[in-house]
Structure 1
Amino acid sequence: MATLVFLHGGGMGGWVWDEIATTLRGEGHKVFTPTFTGFGERSHLISRDVTHDVHVTDIVNVLTFEDLRDVVLVAFSYGGSVAPGVVARAGDRVRRVVYFDGIVPLTGKAVGEAIGYMKTEDAAGLDALLASGEGPIGTGVDEMQRNGAKEKPMKMSAEKQEWLLAHLSDMPLRGMVSPVTHGGEAIDKPVDYLGILGDVMDPAQHDRARALGWNVQTAGPDIDHAFIVGAPNRALDFLRPLL
Structure 2
Amino acid sequence: MPELHAGRKYAKISIRTAQIHLGRTSVATFVLVPGAWLGGWAWKKVVPLLEKKGHEVHAVTLTGMGERVHLASKDVGIETAVQDVLNVIKYNDLDNFVLVGHSFAGKVVAAAADRAPKMVGTLLYLDAFRPEKVRTPQGSFPDEWQVDGWNVPFSEEILDSIGKDVRGADRKWMLSRATSLPVKYFRDPVTLSENFDSVRKAYIFCTGGGDNVDEILKVKLDGPSKVIESGHWPMITRPKELVEDMLALAGNRK
What is the aligned partner in structure 1 of residue 184 from structure 2? 174
What is the aligned partner in structure 2 of residue 132 from structure 1? none
- After superposition, the Cα gap between the structure-2 partners of 1:219 and 1:61, relative to the gap in structure 1 and judged at 3 Å, is same
Query: CA contact under 8 A between 2:30 and 2:55: conserved in structure 1?
Result: yes
1:34 to 41, 60, 64: 60
1:112 to 135, 139, 146: 139
Query: CA contact under 8 A between 1:46 and 1:137: conserved in structure 2?
Result: no
1:233 to 240, 246, 253: 240
Structure 2: state its 5+ residue gaps.
1-26
Identify which of structures 1 and 2 has the higher relative contact order when contacts are C-alpha pairs closer than 8 Å and 6+ apart: 1
Partner Cα separation in structure 1 for residue 246 and residue 96 of structure 2:
16
3-state DSSP class of the match of 2:61?
Answer: coil
Partner Cα separation in structure 2 for residue 105 and residue 80 of structure 1:
7
Aligned residue type for 1:5 = V
Deviation at 1:76, TM superposition (A): 1.1
What is the aligned partner in structure 2 of residue 10 from structure 1? 36
What is the aligned partner in structure 1 of residue 23 from structure 2? none
Instruction: Provide TM-score, normalisation by structure 2.
Output: 0.77
Q: CA RMSD in A?
A: 2.7
What is the aligned partner in structure 1 of residue 225 from structure 2? 216
3-state DSSP class of the match of 2:210?
Answer: coil
Deviation at 1:207, TM superposition (A): 5.5
3-state DSSP class of the match of 1:197?
Answer: strand
Structure number, greater radius of gyration: 2
Deviation at 1:17, TM superposition (A): 0.4
2:111 to 82, 85, 106: 85
Deviation string 1:68-106 (CA, Å, 9 cap, x unpaired) is 111111111112111111111111211111121111124
Partner Cα separation in structure 2 for residue 86 and residue 234 of structure 1:
26
3-state DSSP class of the match of 2:247?
Answer: helix
When the two structures are aligned, how many residues end up with a matched partner?
A: 219
Deviation at 1:164, TM superposition (A): 1.5
What is the aligned partner in structure 2 of residue 160 from structure 1? 170
**104-113 or 66-75: which moved more?**
104-113
Deviation string 1:43-68 (CA, Å, 9 cap, x unpaired) is 11111111212111110111011111
Partner Cα separation in structure 2 for residue 184 and residue 197 of structure 1:
31
Task: Describe how 1:120-159 pairs up with structure 2 within 5 A.
Answer: 136-140=149-153, 142-143=154-155, 146-149=156-159, 154-159=164-169
- After superposition, the Cα gap between the structure-2 partners of 1:91 and 1:162, relative to the gap in structure 1 and judged at 3 Å, is same
Deviation string 1:150-194 (CA, Å, 9 cap, x unpaired) is 688621441112111211001111111111133899252222211
Query: CA contact under 8 A between 2:114 and 2:193: conserved in structure 1?
Result: no
Partner Cα separation in structure 2 for residue 151 and residue 112 of structure 1:
18
Query: CA contact under 8 A between 1:50 and 1:175: conserved in structure 2?
Result: yes
2:209 to 175, 192, 199: 199
